[in-house]
Structure 1
Amino acid sequence: MAEAGEIVVSIAELDRYVISCMMVSGATEDSAVFMSDLLVTADYRGHYSHGLNRIDVYTSEVHHGVACGGGKDPTVVKETLATALVDGNNLLGPVVGKFAMDVAIQKAKTAGVGIVTVRGSNHYGIAGWYSLRATKQGLLGISMTNSSPVTYPTRSKIRSLGTNPISLSAPGKDGDNFALDMATSSVAWGKVELKQRKGEMLPSGWATDKDGHETRDPSSVTGLLPLGGLEQNGGYKGYGLAMMVEVLTSVLSGADMCSFVRKWKTYEKYANLGHCFLAIDPGAFAEGFTDRMQNLMDHNRNLEPVEGEEEVLVAGDPERKHMALCDKLGGIPYHPNQIEFLDGIAKSLGVEPLKHVIPAS
C-alpha cells in the first residue's frame, strides 16, 4: 500500500506532462519522449531523486540554451571494433546516453565487449536506465557519469567531485536480473532536495555544511559526504570510487572534470559532462552465465535475515517491489508536496498541470 496522503498519478498522465514541459521549453518531440521515458522510469523504480524531481533542471537547460533540445544526433568521433568515443554535441543527457549505450551494445554483439566514452553531454538521470538497456538484450551493462561538484573528498571542505554514479546490471533467468544503481557519494543530491521538500531532517552521514561539517538540516547543505561518510568510517573508499568514475568518464573522453564542470542549477556555460558505457556479452566467456548469476542472487536471497527483517535482498529487488506496488495502484504514488512542486513547474511553463490523480488508500 502507498503511504497515507500520497497521490497516485497514472504513467500515461506523467508521460503527457513531461513531454509537454520539455517541448514548451524548446525540445523536439523525440528528445522529449526519451526524457519522459527516463524520468517516469526513475519514479516507477522508486528513484524519486532522479525522476520528475529533475524536470526543472532539464527544462531550464533547454530554455537557457545550455543544452540542445534536439534536431541533431551525437557523433562518433573515433572507433575501433570494440570501442568508440562519442561527442554528445551538447544534446540532452538521455538522448546522448541512449545513443552511446546502443553503440556499446552493437559492438558487444560483434566483439564480445563494447566500451564507449562520451564528452559534450549533460545530466543523464539514473544510471540504471542505460545498463538495463543492455541487460534486456542478454548482456551485462555498465553505465557511469561524472557530474557537477557536490561532494567533499576526504580531508577537504572544498567541493571537488560529483555524485559520480555507477550502475551494473546482469541477466539472470526468466527475466530476473541484478541491477546495481548507486552514487559514489553517500546519497544522491536529489534525496536531500526531497527531504527538504517534505520538511524532513536528514539522516546522519549524508551531507555537510559550508564549513565541511556534517549537518542534518537540509537547508544548510552545501556538499555531500563520500560513500562511507567521514574518513574514519571509510569515506576515503567512496572518494576513491568517485575518482575512478572520473577517470573513466571525463579523463578518458576529454570532458570537463571535477570542479571545472558547470555548477548545479547554473546555466552560464555548457556542462560538457562525460559518461562511460560498457556492454559485455557473457557468451564470450564461460558457458552458463545466467544459471550462475541466478544461483548467486538466489543464494543471497535465501540467507537467514537478521532479527527484525523479513528477507535478504539483492540489488534490483527494492525497485521490483516498488514497480509491483505501482502496478497494483495503477500509477506512481507521490507526496503532496511533490505534486505541488510539479504543478508549480507546469504553471510557470503554461502547461496543463497533472490531472486524473488518485488519492492513495
Structure 2
Amino acid sequence: MIRKGERCFMESRPYVAWDVMNRFLIDAFKGYGVPEEDAKICADVLLESDRRGIESHGCNRFKPIYIDRIVKGTLKPVTEIEVLKDTPTTLVYDAHDGMGMVASYRMMEALIEKAKKYGMAGGAIRNSTHYGIAGYWTTMATKAGMIGVTGTNARPSIAPTFGVENMMGTNPLTWAIPTDEEFPFCIDCATSVVQRGKIEYYAREGKDTPAGMVISHDGSSMTDSSAILKALVDGTAALTPLGGAGDEMCGYKGYGYAAVVEILSAALTGGPFMKALTGVDQNGNPQMYHLGHFFFVINPEFFMGLDTCKKTAGDICRALRASEKAPGHDRIYTAGEKEWLAWCERKDKGVPIGEAVQREMIAVRDQLKLPYHFDFEAAI
C-alpha cells in the first residue's frame, strides 16, 4: 500500500490555500461572464488538476486557455446545452461553443444516472471547447462506483508516423476503474509523447522541452519551448505520437490511438476534425474551436458486482507494485498513484504557484477589482 503523506517532490514555490484559490477562480470566471454555478464547476476542474500534480491543466491555464479565449471571442462564457439525441443509454449534446467543462459535467451526471438503470451509457458532445483534464470525467464515474472512459480531439499537434505535419490533437484516451484502495486506477494521458499544455508550462517556467518530443518540418528535434509553441501554431512543428517519430519504438501505436480518438470525437458527434479545429480561419483570424468529446460509463453491478471489480482491480495494482524492481529503482507505481501522492503532499499546503501565474492572478484581480491580496505579492 501507499505510505500516506509520502513526499513525491520538493517544492520551492509559494502556496495559495485551496479555499482562497477556489474563491478567486470562481470570482474571476464570474467576472468574465460565467454564471456562478458554472464557475464553480470550472474552478473545481482546474483545481483537481493541481490536486493531482497535473499542472499543465490547472491554474497555469485558467487565464490563457479560458479567460483569454472568452475575451478573444473563441469561447462563450454562458453554456447553452442543446440535447440533440437522448435514448435510454445514449446522449448527444451541442455545447454551442460554451464552457466544455460545464457541458461535460452535465453529460457525466446524465450518463451515470442512465448506467445506474441500464448498466452502460455513452454520450458525445459537439461544438465544445477545452474540457480540462480528461481524468476528471472518468473519476466522476468511479466516485459513483462505475468505470469511466472519455476522449477528446483538439487543435492539430501530432504528426502521423513517417510524417512531420501536425494533423491530430493530443487526443487523450482516458480510463478510470474503481479499486478497493484509497484512489482509483486512472490512466489519463495524451496519445502524444508530450501534451501541448506541458510545453506551455515549460515555456512559462523558462525550461526547454526534452529532445524527441517535437519535430520540425525537416524532421529534426526541437527543444526551445517558446519557439515550439509558435511553430505548432504556424504548422512548422509537430508533436511526436507515443513511441516517438518513426517506427523504431513503435510510434505507430500512439498514432493509431490518436486516430481512434479523432474518429470517435468527430464520428459520434457529426462534428469537425483535424485541420478544422485550429481555432483560426483561412485568413488567420480567431474562430470557434468546435471540439468533440465522447464519454462511456460502465456499471460493474451489471457484471459480477462492484465489490468484485474493486477487489480485482486492487489486487492487480498491488501485484504490479510488488513485482521485481529494476536496478536502481525501489518502487513501481500504478496509474493514479502518483496523483494521489501529490494530493497527500499538497492537501494541507495549497496550490503551488509560479511567478508567471502569480502575475496573471494579479492582473486579473486588478482588471476585475476583486478584493484579494496574496501572500506571494511581497516577493514579486
Normalised by the length of structure 2, the TM-score is: 0.87
Residue type of the alignment partner of 2:359: E
Q: Give the C-alpha shift of residue 345 in structure 1.
A: 4.5
What's the secondary structure of 1:240's corresponding residue?
helix
- 8 Å Cα contact 2:170-2:258 kept in structure 1: yes
Matches within 5 A, 1:196-275: 196-221=203-228, 222=232, 223-231=238-246, 232-263=248-279, 268-275=286-293
Q: Give the C-alpha shift of residue 41 in structure 1.
A: 0.9
Partner of 1:101: 108
Partner of 2:302: 284
- 8 Å Cα contact 1:249-1:274 kept in structure 2: yes
Q: Give the C-alpha shift of residue 350 in structure 1.
A: 4.8
Q: Give the C-alpha shift of residue 352 in structure 1.
A: 5.5
Q: Give the C-alpha shift of residue 338 in structure 1.
A: 3.7
Q: Following the alignment from structure 1 to structure 2, what is the Cα–Cα distance between the partners of residues 85 and 176? A: 30
Partner of 1:315: 335
Q: Following the alignment from structure 1 to structure 2, what is the Cα–Cα distance between the partners of residues 66 and 263? A: 8
Q: Give the C-alpha shift of residue 40 in structure 1.
A: 0.9
Q: Following the alignment from structure 2 to structure 1, what is the Cα–Cα distance between the partners of residues 201 and 368? A: 22
1:115 equivalenced with 2:122 (yes/no):
yes
Cα 1:187–1:351 shift into 2, 3 Å: farther
- 8 Å Cα contact 2:126-2:292 kept in structure 1: yes
1:335 equivalenced with 2:342 (yes/no):
no
Q: Following the alignment from structure 1 to structure 2, what is the Cα–Cα distance between the partners of residues 195 and 351? A: 29
1:86 equivalenced with 2:86 (yes/no):
no
Partner of 1:141: 148
Residue type of the alignment partner of 2:302: A
Aligned residues: 357
Partner of 2:345: 325
Residue type of the alignment partner of 2:239: L
**How high is the sequence identity, in percent, across the aligned residues?**
29
- 8 Å Cα contact 2:183-2:337 kept in structure 1: no
Q: Give the C-alpha shift of residue 28 in structure 1.
A: 1.4
Normalised by the length of structure 1, the TM-score is: 0.92
What's the secondary structure of 2:133's corresponding residue?
coil
The C-alpha deviation readout for 1:31-89, integer Å capped at 9, x for no partner, is 2111100111111111100111111221122223332212x542221122211211112
- 8 Å Cα contact 1:178-1:314 kept in structure 2: yes
Partner of 2:30: 23
1:124 equivalenced with 2:131 (yes/no):
yes
Picking from 343, 349, 355, the partner of 2:374 is 355
- 8 Å Cα contact 2:175-2:188 kept in structure 1: yes
| Worse overlay, 346-355 or 6-15 | 346-355
Partner of 2:196: 189
- 8 Å Cα contact 2:14-2:376 kept in structure 1: yes
Q: Following the alignment from structure 2 to structure 1, what is the Cα–Cα distance between the partners of residues 141 and 19? A: 25
1:300 equivalenced with 2:320 (yes/no):
yes
Any stretches of 5+ residues in structure 1 without a counterpart?
A: none
Residue type of the alignment partner of 2:90: T
